[in-house]
Amino acid sequence: MGQKRIVTAYVFLAIPLVFYIVVRFYPMIYAFWLSFTNWRLISPKKDFVGFDNFVKLFKDKVFTTSLWNTIKYVTFGIPLVIVLSLFLATTLNRVRHLQWFYRLLYVMPYITPLVAVSWVWRWIYQRPPAGILNNVLMAFGLDAQPFLSSMNQSLPAIVVTTVWVNLGYCIIIYLAGLQTIPQEYIEAAEIDGATSRQSFFKITLPLLNPITVFLVVTQSITFLRIFTQVYNMTDQGSGGPLNATKPLVLYIYQKAFRSFDMGLASSATVILFMLIMGITLIQLLVLNKRVQY
Amino acid sequence: MVFPFVWMFSSSFKTSEEIYEMSLIPNEPTIANYEFIFKYSMFPRWFLNSMIVAVVTTISVLFFDSLIGYTLAKYTFPGKNIIFILILSTLMIPTEMLVIPWYIMVRQLGWMETYWSIMFPGMISAFGIFLMKQFMSTIPDDLLDAARIDGVSEFGIFIRIVIPLVKPALATLAIFNFVGNWNAFLWPLIVAQTPKMYTLPVGVSYFSSENLTRWELIMTGAAVSTIPLIIFFIIFQKQIVKGIAMSGLKG
């Protein structure tokens, strides 16, 4: 009987195991291996070149710019998305009417195709007379701004779009977390004379800590992998103007599927992988240290 | 929060003359843009492509993820924990790292310009396996043993007893996968090289650059790619919110 079940289990797992080996593990190892070769798709030459690609990457100004841009996306985006969603979630949590309706509004951007979102925002940021935002600015007597065509404003403009997209997801998760906090804690604090500000910082925030860590990590990964919005919001998907908005993934895409430099592009994916690994490991460390309240 | 959506839909009903006006409600609402898109562009084909990709991968994920989740939750066999950990560890591999090897595989196997090439990487999802395993471990073993005594086959137990018990989890997984595949951009952009095989997001992206100044058509294209998800959302809104919440509470 036991023997038969073991066989059944392996039969059930046969196709998935083949899938995981062929479609996940083998390609990952292959990508690592490619990162040490000088292979270009168009030539049969595939020599092992050691760390040459990585040296080449860090000498390439476009690469260091896109790495730097990626870091900017993460460091501007994460505080914005976390603080805003925490604020909106605690506010929404107090609203007793039409909760489902607000949730609906906030989830909408999250389920909409990012390509559609990007094009709508691209229009919002257009120069006058088309750009909606510029029309609003001008209506208030302010100067029109170049937004996406400016070296300084284009990256923040894309950050804002991305924050808008991810906000709903974070709000829902914070709301779920807020609902697990026993109401008695807050009431007890109020009886002891705590202000709502104090009970937020001393009770709610610490209890939400695990959720905040989870969101910081998953959102960091999302911002590290930024691609679609930059591809669709910049001219010819170039990450312009002059690479001012180009993230790591767009660099990888261009090297692999425009220049067909598979070796170099693979090295860049290895760097992306290590960044994501690093953030995930930090999460594990922080979560293991979770303090009991 | 909703303003960009409202703007997208309102613009899709505007004429090319009115498109630059800041009115929220079109003066002369027209469905000409929708007509144009469906009659004179490849949008219907892209819509169909997206539908095929999203539906087929979702069915595949539901079947395999629940089967794997069930096996990992309810059977004891050597190597079980290693297999589970290995599957979960793939969650850390970014797709961007795999697309180059996948692209090379697709070329070597001659799968270019097929639905299969767009769909194969998403046929099984590690997140879904985790979700299903968690759900299925709450099913009492006695129930399964009773079925075994009644002579139901192992696969029969899975299909006839386990599956009906985990419908809420299946619904969550279905929504996540459908939305994810419908919206996927990077991989379809890489493998769909002729307009015939574009999915909607790739199509909108291409369509827009070809018609850079025709904002009313771009907004209509964006609206068309969003409408199925809005319908989906209205039907399943409770499950979507629950599903998102569930995805965050696993940590």
- Does residue A41 form part of some domain? no
Identity of residue A92: L
Instruction: List the single residue in A27, A215, A272 with the smallest CB-CB distance to B102.
Output: A27
Is the per-residue pLDDT at A246 higher than 80?
yes
Question: Are B58 and B32 contained in the same domain?
Answer: no
- Does residue B192 form part of some domain? no
Whole-number average pLDDT of chain B = 88
pLDDT of residue A115: 93
Instruction: List the single residue in A119, A177, A252 with the smallest CB-CB distance to B96.
Output: A252
- Does residue B201 form part of some domain? no
Burial degree of A170 (CB within 10 A; 0-12, 13-18, 19+)? buried
Residue A21 phi, psi (nearest 5): -70, -45
Q: For residue B250, name the pLDDT band (cuts at 50, 70, 90).
A: very low
pLDDT tens digits for range B181-224: 999 999 999 998 899 999 999 998 887 766 566 888 888 999 99
- Does residue A105 form part of some domain? yes
Instruction: List the single residue in A105, A116, A236 with the smallest CB-CB distance to B226.
Output: A116
Contact residues on chain B for A20, CB-CB shorter than 8 A? 86-87, 90, 124
Number of domains forming the structure of chain A: 1
Determine the distance in angstroms separating the CA of A191 from the nearest CA of chain B, rounded to an integer. Answer: 30
Contact residues on chain B for A229, CB-CB shorter than 8 A? none
- Does residue A194 form part of some domain? yes
- Does residue B198 form part of some domain? no
Number of domains forming the structure of chain B: 2
* Alpha-carbon radius of gyration of chain A: 24
Q: What percent of chain B has pLDDT over 70?
A: 96
Contact B205 A231 (CB under 8 A): yes
Question: Are B47 and B171 contained in the same domain?
Answer: yes
Question: Are B57 and B168 contained in the same domain?
Answer: yes
Residue B236 CB contacts under 8 Å (≥ 6 apart), including other chains: B171, B175
pLDDT of residue A157: 96
- Does residue B197 form part of some domain? no
Question: Are B36 and B48 contained in the same domain?
Answer: no
Residue A69 CB contacts under 8 Å (≥ 6 apart), including other chains: A155, A239, A243, A244, A245, A246, A247, A248
- Looking at residue A87, which CATH number applies to its domain? 1.10.3720.10
Structural domain that includes position B1: 1-40+207-250
Contact A26 B226 (CB under 8 A): no
Contact A27 B75 (CB under 8 A): no
Question: Are B77 and B105 contained in the same domain?
Answer: yes
- Looking at residue B74, which CATH number applies to its domain? 1.10.3720.10
Whole-number average pLDDT of chain A = 89
Question: Are B67 and B142 contained in the same domain?
Answer: yes
pLDDT tens digits for range A71-107: 999 999 999 999 999 999 988 888 777 777 777 777 7
Contact residues on chain A for B158, CB-CB shorter than 8 A? 12
Question: Are B4 and B78 contained in the same domain?
Answer: no
- Does residue A160 form part of some domain? yes
Structural domain that includes position A230: 55-287
Return the higher-pLDDT residue of B157 and B250. B157
- Does residue A243 form part of some domain? yes
Instruction: List the single residue in B202, B215, B230 with the smallest CB-CB distance to A130.
Output: B215
Q: What percent of chain B has pLDDT over 90?
A: 53
The neighbouring-strand residues paired with A37 are A48
Q: Region A42-51: what's the mean pLDDT?
A: 84
Question: Are B65 and B35 contained in the same domain?
Answer: no
Tell me the C-alpha distance between B69 and B22, whole Å.
52
- Does residue A39 form part of some domain? no
Domain boundary (B143, B165, B180) is at B180
Question: Are B3 and B98 contained in the same domain?
Answer: no
Determine the distance in angstroms separating the CA of A116 from the nearest CA of chain B, rounded to an integer. Answer: 5
pLDDT of residue A106: 79
Q: Region A217-231: what's the mean pLDDT?
A: 95
Contact A231 B96 (CB under 8 A): no
pLDDT tens digits for range A154-190: 999 999 999 999 998 898 889 888 888 888 888 888 8
Q: For residue B248, name the pLDDT band (cuts at 50, 70, 90).
A: low
Is the per-residue pLDDT at A292 higher than 50?
no
Question: Are B3 and B27 contained in the same domain?
Answer: yes
Tell me the C-alpha distance between A202 and A189, whole Å.
9
Question: Are B159 and B56 contained in the same domain?
Answer: yes
Per-residue exposure over B180-208, b if at least 16 CB sit within 10 Å of its own CB, e if not:
bbbbbbbbbbbbbeeeebbbbbbbbbbbb
pLDDT tens digits for range B36-63: 888 888 899 999 999 999 999 999 999 9
Question: Are B120 and B240 contained in the same domain?
Answer: no
